Amino acid sequence: MNKLILGTTILSFSLIGAACNGIDTANEELFHDNGNTINVNDQEDLYNNPSKDKTQRSEDFGYVRQQKSPIQGRTISNDNMYSINREQVADSISKMSVALPNVKDCSTLVTDEEVLVSYVTDKKDKDARFEVADQVKKTAMSVVPRWYHVYVTDDKNLMRNVENLAKMDSDSRNVNTAIDDTINLMLQASPQGRNIDAGENANGEMTDDKYEMQDDDVHKINKDRQKRQDKTGNMMD
């Protein structure tokens, strides 16, 4: 009888230990990486490379639930919260743009806050060019985070400018000046489509007086263009 009681006690402790270990493992799965993410498959970059099982990945919905960490004093980490794979985003924009009916070729540059899209279209009429520009711009904006500004051009000569910028990076000397110069050329040469809304111009730059803006938030040429634009974003003669 004593042996039976002893054996039962040992078995009970073993089951309790296994259960506790299971709880710890579950907690690790629920609160992995930063200790706050629940009910996600894997926490990866915003635009990550597809998994080997492309069919499964394409069928998954994107869902993330955040809770305070169960560990007192630990806060949600903001590290890499808004990181994106710029190369992959640029690839997506170019592929989606050439899928448009009147776009034959497209080059896209994605920086930390701007998207420069250079494309080739067979449309020569002013109104037709405007519509193509609006489609390309909206395509790019549908891919990038909302804080990005998007600039487009159908001037073939500027495609080389965009390509040259791709050889630089965020730490390159005078990179901001080079980007601004190219953007201003794009704005002079090509239509940009309709205004985003009453508070943003065609490129997604804030124009409403209630927003405080830095001098470099709106390109100088845009200030002059804005005065000549009607409410739909069409250039007025």
Q: In this predicted model, what pLDDT tens digit does every residue of 52-73 receive, in sequence order?
A: 555 555 688 878 777 776 676 6
Res 30: pLDDT: 45
**CA–CA separation, 179 vs 189, rounded Å?**
15
For the ranges 61-65, 87-91, 198-202, the one whose mean pLDDT is highest: 87-91
Answer positive or negative: Cα dihedral of 121, 125, 152, 44: negative
Residue 40 predicted with pLDDT over 50: no
E strands within 45-195?
65-66, 103-110, 114-121, 149-153
Q: Please answer whether residues 187 and 225 qualify as being in contact, where contact means their C-beta atoms are separated by less than 8 angstroms.
A: yes
86-227, CATH topology level: GMP Synthetase; Chain A, domain 3 (3.30.300)
Structure letter (DSSP) for residue 200: B
Least confident of 58-72, 154-168, 184-198: 58-72
Least confident of 131-140, 192-201, 202-211: 202-211
* Total-model pTM: 0.65
Res 133: pLDDT: 98
Res 237: pLDDT: 38
Residue 97 predicted with pLDDT over 60: yes
Residue 170: pLDDT band with limits 50, 70, 90: confident
Residue 1: pLDDT band with limits 50, 70, 90: low
Instruction: CATH 3.30.300 in the chain: give the residue spans.
Output: 86-227
- For residue 100, give the amino acid letter: L
Q: Which residues contact 82 (CB under 8 A, 6 or more apart)?
A: 46, 145
Residue 187 predicted with pLDDT over 80: yes
Res 207: pLDDT: 78
Res 61: pLDDT: 82
Q: Which residues contact 133 (CB under 8 A, 6 or more apart)?
A: 152, 154, 190, 191, 192, 193
More confident of the two residues 161 and 1: 161
Q: What percent of the chain lies above the pLDDT cut of 70?
A: 57
